[in-house]
Amino acid sequence: MSAPATRTVEVRGEPGYAVHVGPDALAHLTAHAREGRRVLLVVQPGRAQLAAQAAAVLADAGARPVVVEVPDAEAAKTAQVLESLWRRLGQEGFTRDDLVVGVGGGAVTDLAGFVAATWLRGVESVLLPTSLLGVVDAAVGGKTGINTPEGKNLVGAFHPPRAVLCDPAWLASMPRADYVSGLAEVVKAGFIADPVILDLVEADPVAAGDPTAAPGLAVELITRAVRVKAEVVAADLREASLREILNYGHTFGHAVEQVEDYRWRHGDAVAVGMVFVAELAHRAGLVDQALLERHRTVLGSLGLPTAYPGPDRWEELRTAMARDKKSRGSTLRFVALEGLASPTRLEAPDEALLREAYEAVRRPR
Ligand SMILES: NC(=O)c1ccc[n+]([C@@H]2O[C@H](COP(=O)([O-])OP(=O)(O)OC[C@H]3O[C@@H](n4cnc5c(N)ncnc54)[C@H](O)[C@@H]3O)[C@@H](O)[C@H]2O)c1
Ligand SMILES: O=C(O)C(=O)C[C@@H](O)[C@H](O)[C@H](O)COP(=O)(O)O
Ligand SMILES: [Zn+2]
């Protein structure tokens, strides 16, 4: 089977940047290596081989790479880890001309991006996402940050990278459940803006869930989702309004993650969140029965959860939703659809409808 060609999605901005997806992605790192340029590679455990390849590309072009491994997953997104990276940059004498490169999943690209945003009030970053969620979501769009004991992503900055590079072959080692969870964000892009994504998944959900067996489909789905995000963040980097559509399914999804003490995968929670808000929008007269059911069939065909059964946790979920970043005062605000690829806001929905939507996602189908 021949490897798919590398595709490039441009993210417009000042400055803009490119997202390269395909087998030649790593070669684009050379464009960011200058003679003598110091480069801090912030690396997730397990990604040392890729980091070594990236360091070699940089060194061959005359740059001076420094490789630092950070703790795995959310343990990387702490003030302590951030401080240790600032100290290292100081010890190595990094200046404003130098570069930070993140190698790993979304946790590391968030951290590396925030180190770059804060060192000397901002140096350049290049991100090498190695998870599906990383390439279609976390690494693109300029949101960087860390967690505090009070919650996720509470400290951060908008600091777009200078490039995002991903060879889908890097994703092959991902556990299947994590890959499928990342597909929830791809499906989200389908519902809010690009229905071809839904058609592709519906045509062959097995292939869509297997980047090794179907690398061409993986590149197609990834670049389509990246294009949706690129268009949105180019128009509204700081989430003044339009960018909120990327939060489709996240109001209920974030609440499930919180109530479940973050034991649920993010994409799994977003999948149930999309079904919840589709149920809500259906009851509000915005979404017809066919579009509602399409949520269940597309997500379910990939093996994503479409229900949140179990004991009644409505009060906890309702409280968690009120703390959503999109809330204003005590008013709940949802991103909903008023038709396929036609996102809108659903503000202060009737409490009875909210409860009905919850009961609908409590019942497994
Ligand atoms: N900035 C944004 O806009 C944005 C958007 C979405 C998510 N995020 C953030 O991204 C993070 C979630 O990203 P994630 O799902 O990539 O999680 P993650 O970075 O924690 O990675 C999940 C696990 O997968 C492993 N992993 C990574 N690449 C792998 C590979 N190729 N093979 C095998 N294992 C691999 C990691 O080591 C980790 O154990 C969260 O912190 C979230 O807040 C940010
Ligand atoms: O990039 C965005 O904007 C998003 O909303 C993308 C989401 O999929 C993602 O989960 C993001 O981390 C949510 O951001 P946050 O503002 O809730 O931290
Ligand atoms: Zn998300």
Q: Give pLDDT tens digits along the chain (365 positions).
A: 578 899 999 999 999 999 999 999 999 999 999 999 999 999 999 999 999 999 999 999 999 999 999 999 999 999 999 999 999 999 999 999 999 999 999 999 999 999 999 999 999 999 999 999 999 999 999 999 999 887 888 899 999 999 999 999 999 999 999 999 999 999 999 999 999 999 999 999 999 999 999 999 999 999 999 999 999 999 999 999 999 999 999 999 999 999 999 999 999 999 999 999 999 999 999 999 999 999 999 999 999 999 999 999 999 999 999 988 777 777 899 999 999 999 999 999 999 999 999 999 999 88
From ligand 1's centre to the CA of 200, what distance in Å?
24
Comparing CA positions, the residue from 284, 302, 270 lying closest to residue 339 is 284
Q: Which of 178, 179, 188 to mutate to test the pocket of ligand 1 (most atoms within 8 A of CB)?
A: 178
pLDDT number for residue 331? 87
From ligand 3's centre to the CA of 31, what distance in Å?
30
pTM: 0.97
pLDDT number for residue 1? 58
pLDDT number for residue 60? 97
Q: Which residue's alpha carbon is at the smallest distance from atom 18 of ligand 2? A: 153
Amino acid in the structure at residue 124: E
From ligand 2's centre to the CA of 157, what distance in Å?
13
Q: Could you give the CA distance from residue 260 to residue 268 in angstroms, rounded to a whole number? A: 12
pLDDT number for residue 95? 98
Closest ligand by atom to 104 CA: 1
Domains and CATH numbers, the chain: 1-239 (3.40.50.1970), 248-365 (1.20.1090.10)
pLDDT number for residue 197? 98
pLDDT number for residue 353? 98
Q: Which residue's alpha carbon is at the smallest distance from atom 12 of ligand 1? A: 106
pLDDT number for residue 301? 98
Q: Is the CB of 267 under 6 A from ligand 1?
A: no
Q: Is 77 annotated as a binding residue?
A: yes
Note the ipTM here.
Answer: 0.99
Q: Which of 242, 245, 250, 334 to mutate to test the pocket of ligand 2 (most atoms within 8 A of CB)?
A: 250
Q: Is 106 annotated as a binding residue?
A: yes
